[in-house]
Amino acid sequence: MTTIRKTAVAALAAALGVAALGACGGSEPSDSGGSGGSASKTVTLVSHDSFTASPDVLKAFTQETGYTVKVLKSGDAGEALNKEILTKGSPQGDVFFGVDNTLLSRALDNGLFTPYEAKGLDRVDAGTRLDQGKNRVTPIDTGDLCVNYDKKYFADKKLAPPTSFDDLVKPAYKDLLVTENAATSSPGLGFLLGSVARYGDDGWQDYWKKLKANGVRVVDSWEQAYNEEFSGSAGGKKAKADRPLVVSYASSPPAEVLYAEPQPKEAPTGVSTETCFRQIEFAGLLDGAKNEAGGKALLDFLISDRFQADMPLNMFVNPVVKSVGLPKLFTEFGATVAKPETVAPDRIAANREQWIQSWSSLVVK
C-alpha cells in the first residue's frame, strides 16, 4: 500500500532548526465533553502529520461559527487514510483532510465520506473537482511534484540542469538523481505516474530501465531524499549529500528561502518544470461523524478566502479558489509549471497497484 506524502514544510523546517506553526487542538470545552454529541462545540479534523494553519485563522473559524477545531494528526496521509478505512462508520473525527488524487479512489471505494456540497464550491477551480456531481470530497489545494536541482552544483560543473524526463536518462546526469520509492512515498508514486503520463503504457517501463541504468538512487521517503541525499537542501548541506537532483515539489525553492537565515536574494534550488505531476488534495465529511454540522462548517471554511490564502506559506501548496492569489514569496521564488502531467483518477484506480508492482520489480528488486 502506498504511503502518502508529508508536505515539505514540516521536514524542511526541522532540517533548518525552525519550528513550523502547527494547528493545535482547541482549548474551549465542548457542551458534551468532546467532539461527540449534537451540541458539541468541537469539530475534529483528522489529517496527515503536516497539516498546518496559522492559529489566528483557526480562531477566526471559531469566531465565525462557534466551533473549535481539534486537529488529530494520524501519521502521513496514507497511514491516516488506512486508519480511517479500518474505523469505517465509527470515525476518529468529523472531517478527513489530505487524501490526494493518487489514492482518492481507495477512499471513495471504501465509502468513507458523506456527500456534502461545500458553500462556495462554485469558486473552486473546476479542474480539481474530480468527484463533481457526487461531492463526496472537496478539493482544498494543489501542488506539483517535480525534479528539483542544486543550482550551485550545476554552476560549478558548468552543466545545464535537466529540464525534462528525457534529459534525466542522458549520460551527463548519470548518478545525480535521487527519488522516492513509489511503493512507500507519494512523491515517488507521483513521479512514477508522471512517467506513465509522459511515455504511456508501452513506454514507461523502458524509461525506468534507462533511468536505473543511469544510476538513479531510490530511498523510502521524501524526508530522506530531500534532507539527507539532496545536496541543494539545507538538510543535505549538513549531511554532505551527494545528489544534486531530487524529486520534490515546485514549492520547495520558496520554502528554502523562507526558512533560511538570513534569507537569500535567490533560491539555492531550481525546478525542472517539464518533469512535474499535478497533485490535488481533498477533504471530506466522514461517514458517521459525530459532529456533522461542525464538519460541514469546517469544509465551508477550508475553501474560504481566509483559509485558502493562509495555506501557501504554511503547507507550501496552491489554493484551489481561483480568486485567491499567491504570496510574493511564491511568485518570486517558486516555479511556474505550465503543463504538469496528469493521469485520470479512474485510470489510476484501475492500474495503481499493478504499476507499483511492475515498477518495484524493475527498479528495486
Q: Work out the pLDDT band at 1, boundaries 50, 70, 90.
A: very low
What was the pLDDT predicted at 140? 98
Class of domain 8-143+279-330: alpha beta
Within a 10 A sphere around the Cβ of 119, how many other Cβ atoms? 14
Round to whole Å and give the CA distance between 9 and 312. Answer: 10
Crossing angle for the helix pair 186-199 and 345-359, nearest 10 degrees? 100
Mapped onto helix, strand or coil, the DSSP state of residue 2 is coil
CA 335 to mean position of chain CA atoms: 16
What was the pLDDT predicted at 20? 35
What was the pLDDT predicted at 185? 83
Region 9-18: what's the mean pLDDT?
A: 42
Region 66-88: what's the mean pLDDT?
A: 87
Count of residues making up the chain:
365
**Domain residue limits, the chain:** 8-143+279-330, 144-278+336-364
Q: Are 242 and 102 in contact (CB under 8 A)?
A: no
Region 2-13: what's the mean pLDDT?
A: 40
Cell output for 232: 541543494
Region 27-54: what's the mean pLDDT?
A: 68
Q: Are 229 and 242 in contact (CB under 8 A)?
A: yes
Q: Work out the pLDDT band at 81, boundaries 50, 70, 90.
A: confident
What was the pLDDT predicted at 184? 80
Q: Work out the pLDDT band at 69, boundaries 50, 70, 90.
A: very high
Average of per-residue pLDDT values in the chain:
88
What was the pLDDT predicted at 19? 33
- Please tell me which residue, 37 or 299, carries the higher pLDDT value: 299
Residue keyed to cell 523502458: 206
What was the pLDDT predicted at 9? 46
What was the pLDDT predicted at 70? 96
Matching CATH topology for 8-143+279-330 and 144-278+336-364? yes
Round to whole Å and give the CA distance between 311 and 300. Answer: 15
What does the pLDDT look like over 270-281, one tens digit per residue?
999 999 999 999
What does the pLDDT look like over 105-116, one tens digit per residue?
889 999 999 999
Residue 313 has pLDDT above 50, yes or no: yes
Percent of the chain at pLDDT > 70 equals 87
Residue 142 has pLDDT above 50, yes or no: yes
Region 214-220: what's the mean pLDDT?
A: 96
What was the pLDDT predicted at 212? 97
Round to whole Å and give the CA distance between 147 and 277. Answer: 10
Domain 144-278+336-364 architecture? 3-Layer(aba) Sandwich (3.40)
CA distances for 321 relative to 101, 165, 193, 260, angstroms: 17, 30, 25, 29
Cell output for 6: 508529508
Q: Which amino acid, 170?
A: K
CA-closest candidate to residue 270, choices 159, 142, 128, 140: 159
Residue keyed to cell 554552476: 155
What does the pLDDT look like over 147-194, one tens digit per residue?
999 999 999 999 999 999 999 999 999 999 999 999 888 889 999 999
Residue 18 has pLDDT above 60, yes or no: no
What was the pLDDT predicted at 319? 97
What was the pLDDT predicted at 3? 32
Residue 223 has pLDDT above 90, yes or no: no
Q: Work out the pLDDT band at 145, boundaries 50, 70, 90.
A: very high
What was the pLDDT predicted at 39? 58
Q: Are 142 and 7 in contact (CB under 8 A)?
A: no
Residue 340: in which H helix or E strand, if any?
Answer: none
The C-alpha angle 5, 145, 222, rounded to 5 degrees, equals 40
What does the pLDDT look like over 226-261, one tens digit per residue?
999 999 988 767 767 899 999 999 999 999 999 888
What was the pLDDT predicted at 38? 46
